[in-house]
């Protein structure tokens, strides 16, 4: 990707995998998974990128569940 001067192709594709999972984009995940292997990423690197994407996606879910619980507790007072 010519537009990136400071990121190598492996980093770009691993970030793409994480972003695809965090954003819930299945076609994007398929694309970046394939490209990551093509540019030489290991399965270990891909696995960690997937785990990072899961963590990013879970954060707002965790926050909204906690807020819902706080609203319930405050409504009971």
- DSSP 8-state assignment for residue 5: S
What is the pTM (predicted TM-score) of this model?
0.83
The full set of domain ranges for the chain reads 9-75
The pLDDT of residue 46 is 98
Q: What is the pLDDT of residues 31-51, one digit of tens each?
A: 999 999 999 999 999 999 999
- Would you state the CATH architecture of domain 9-75? Up-down Bundle (1.20)
pLDDT, average across residues 16-45: 98
Q: Which residue do the tokens 């995940």 mark? A: 29
Predicted confidence band at 1 (pLDDT cuts at 50, 70, 90)?
Answer: low
The pLDDT of residue 14 is 98
Q: Tell me the C-alpha distance between 74 and 69, whole Å.
A: 9
Q: Tell me the C-alpha distance between 30 and 24, whole Å.
A: 12
Alpha-helical (H) ranges within 1-77 are 9-23, 26-38, 43-75
């Amino acid at each position: 990707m010519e537009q990136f001067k400071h990121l190598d192709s492996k980093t770009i594709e691993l970030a793409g995998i994480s972003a695809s999972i965090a954003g819930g984009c299945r076609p994007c995940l398929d694309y970046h998974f394939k490209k990551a292997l093509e540019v030489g990423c290991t399965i270990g690197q891909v696995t960690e990128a997937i785990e990072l994407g899961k963590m990013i996606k879970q954060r707002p879910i965790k926050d909204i569940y906690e807020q819902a619980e706080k609203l319930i507790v405050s409504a009971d007072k």
